[in-house]
Amino acid sequence: LSFSTSASAQTITDADVLNFALNLEYLEAQFYSYAAYGTGLDNSLLSGTSTQGAVRGGRQVNFTDPIVRQYAREIAQDEIAHVKFLRTALGTAAVAQPVIDVSVSPTSAFSLAAQAAGLVPAGTAFDPYASDEAFLLGAFIFEDVGVTAYKGAAPLLTSKAYLEAAAGLLAVEAYHAAIVRTTLYGKGIATPSLRQSADAISNARDSLDGTTDLDQGISPISQTPINLSTTQAAVTASNIVPLDANGVAFSRSASQVLNIVYLNKGAASAGGFYPNGMNGNIKTSIAAS
């Protein structure tokens, strides 16, 4: 697995991998906490090694669908718990929260991602707090990334205890991603543009992490049942779970994850949702290829 030009020259420790995950959990926890409750993480959960940064933006969503509101609250609590768990596991080695951008200006991370996907015109703001649907699309921008990040990092952990914990975190992130994908898929029946927007976000992510297809949208797919003869007629199926031909979830290297969250397919050490970069030893991507 590739990390970066700097990280590849040193030995990656379990603490490095967990801190990389902690950076991602800071982002998710802050976004969902603001969206669900209108407030971010407690200050006691932000300190650590490296430079502590503030959150840019974030506000409560005025949900109209009670189910989506309840989903947001559940996911927020899960992500906050992840931050607490990783910080406890790392102890004094835990990195501080870096600067995180969850704002809605025309040049914010959410807006640039939405512009790249064609959801809004260039130079236009995308507000993930404006509605239930906007919140779901905002969550979709990075929710699948967490699943592939944990799967890609798992083989790097040497501690069986940490590996088991990472498997548990991966499972929760997969549940979250499935909630977001399923809800968008369902709402897309009445509003097809939601499925189209999710597909566009998926394509935009794929354009950042290299030439391989590691991403899938949510639009219905045509498939021939694998337990039947290939002469059987194809049927329409949902695409809730993005996976390969073996039914296995995709993996992304740390560098590919950084390409996406930095919104930069080139070598980068900052940008996108992390304006000043992540904290820790795994923070620089290589150019996606």
By the 8 A CB rule, do 88 and 134 touch?
A: no
235 band by pLDDT with thresholds 50, 70 and 90: confident
| Residue 120 pLDDT | 97
Collapse the DSSP code of 98 into the 3-class scheme (helix H, G, I; strand E, B; otherwise coil) and give the result.
coil
* Secondary structure element (H or E) that encloses residue 132, with its range: helix 132-153
By the 8 A CB rule, do 270 and 240 touch?
A: no
| Residue 7 pLDDT | 43
Q: pTM of the full predicted structure?
A: 0.93
As given in the structure block, the two tokens for residue 75 are 């996911």
Q: Domains of the chain: which residue ranges?
A: 11-261
Q: What's the pLDDT tens digit per position in 99-108?
A: 999 999 999 9
**What average pLDDT score do residues 217-240 get?**
76
Rounded-to-integer distance, Cα 266 and Cα 67, Å: 39
Q: What are phi and psi of 271, to 5 degrees?
A: 135, 170
Q: What's the pLDDT tens digit per position in 177-195?
A: 999 999 999 999 999 999 9
Q: What angle do CA 147, 150, 154 make, to 5 degrees?
A: 145
Rounded-to-integer distance, Cα 271 and Cα 279, Å: 13
What are the DSSP calls for 261-282, one per residue? HTT-SSS-SSBTTBTT--SSS-
What are the DSSP calls for 142-209, one per residue? HHHHHHHHHHHHGGG---HHHHHHHHHHHHHHHHHHHHHHHHHHHHHHH-HHHHHHHHHHHHHHHHHS
Alpha helix ranges (H) inside 49-131: 66-90, 109-117
By the 8 A CB rule, do 75 and 146 touch?
A: no
Q: What's the pLDDT tens digit per position in 75-101?
A: 999 999 999 999 999 999 999 999 999
Average pLDDT, the chain: 92
Q: What's the pLDDT tens digit per position in 58-81?
A: 999 999 999 999 999 999 999 999
Nearest to 186 by CA among 75, 74, 68, 70: 68
Nearest to 218 by CA among 194, 236, 234, 235: 194
